[in-house]
Amino acid sequence: MVTLSIHLITYNNEKHIEETLQSILKQKVDFKYEIVVGDDCSTDNTFNILSTYVLKRPDVFKVQKNKKQLGILRNFKVTLDRCSGIYIFDIAGDDLLKHDNALQKMVDVLKNDSSLGFVDSGYDRFNDKINSVTVFKNNNQITSSKKTYKEEILLGKVVPIGHCFNREYLYKYVDFDTYLKMKISVDDYPILVDLIMNSNFSRINESLHTYRVHDNSHSHKKELDHLLFQKNEMKHLFDYFSNKYKFSEKLKSKYQIDYNKDVLFLTGYFENKTLGKEIFLKTKSKGIKDWIHFWASQSKRFRKLISLKKKLLK
């Protein structure tokens, strides 16, 4: 019996995929695992690299290249359907397991408590471009109260690195059919929200993973239209869950304030005057940073003066 399925969806990860696979294969575990890969029509050498690993370890690898591009969420679900493990560890094709006992630690937590929908754990944030590491980036979330952590999930502030899931609960509580019909590109947020609203969770107070940030990754492309699409899709999902789970007015207000401030920052970063004016008027409780981002959206000279370009996008 397979205890753990390592769920890996890929698209044009040839630069990093081998390092990711090596970090998985070096794991020391006392259970049987499989590596289930869904390649979403990569146009680079990703699938060829994966194929060499299948030849080396056919007992472990289950690799499939989609006949047509499915997108992140559908690829996630199709790949999940090929997993046979009791637990599911999801990892991106450019991230890493830091320690050779990472998988064992996560599975042990899930084995000890059948009420858990998932376990979260710490990660280091590695900026590929400037070769910089932020150690245990999510330490505050991992060590926060359960109430605070749950709120962070609902607000979409938890980065999905280091989550290991109970497969039964993924199928029981996550409404994949609805999200696929909504044609959303986000996979992690709806999964975490449905699970945290319907099951228990745990956290491991240790950094077990490396989250790689680079310009080619889907979540870190630096184009205004792409970033606004992500923000608006998340807001659409938040509004959906707000109705589904009857979020408090306080939580809804907090999300709206954060959304406005984030979009205002983007208008300053990309010098979008029209949107900058529009969102500035909607932003409540304006702080000095909001004024700076507004004026940066209106004036190239001001933007250069404050060196806004040097700030990293969230």
For residue 38, give Cα distances in angstroms to 64, 87, 97.
Answer: 5, 17, 19
Average pLDDT, the chain: 94
Higher-pLDDT residue of 300, 64: 64
Q: How far apart are CA 76 and CA 180, in angstroms?
A: 11
Q: Report whether 47 contacts 18 (CB < 8 A).
A: no
Prediction pTM value? 0.93
Nearest to 154 by CA among 47, 239, 57: 239
Domains of the chain and any CATH numbers: 4-216 (3.90.550.10), 220-310 (no CATH)
Average pLDDT over residues 25-36: 98
* pLDDT above 90: residue 305: no
Which tokens is 25 given?
């294969």
Q: How far apart are CA 53 and CA 55, in angstroms?
A: 5
Q: How far apart are CA 294 and CA 285, in angstroms?
A: 14
For residue 245, give Cα distances in angstroms to 16, 28, 180, 188, 196.
Answer: 38, 40, 19, 18, 11
pLDDT per residue as tens digits for the range 139-162:
999 999 999 999 999 999 999 999
pLDDT band of 300, cuts 50, 70, 90: confident
Q: Report whether 35 contacts 6 (CB < 8 A).
A: yes
pLDDT per residue as tens digits for the range 256-266:
999 999 999 99
Q: What are residue 92's DSSP bridge partners? A: 9
pLDDT per residue as tens digits for the range 208-249:
999 999 766 555 557 899 999 999 999 999 999 999 999 999
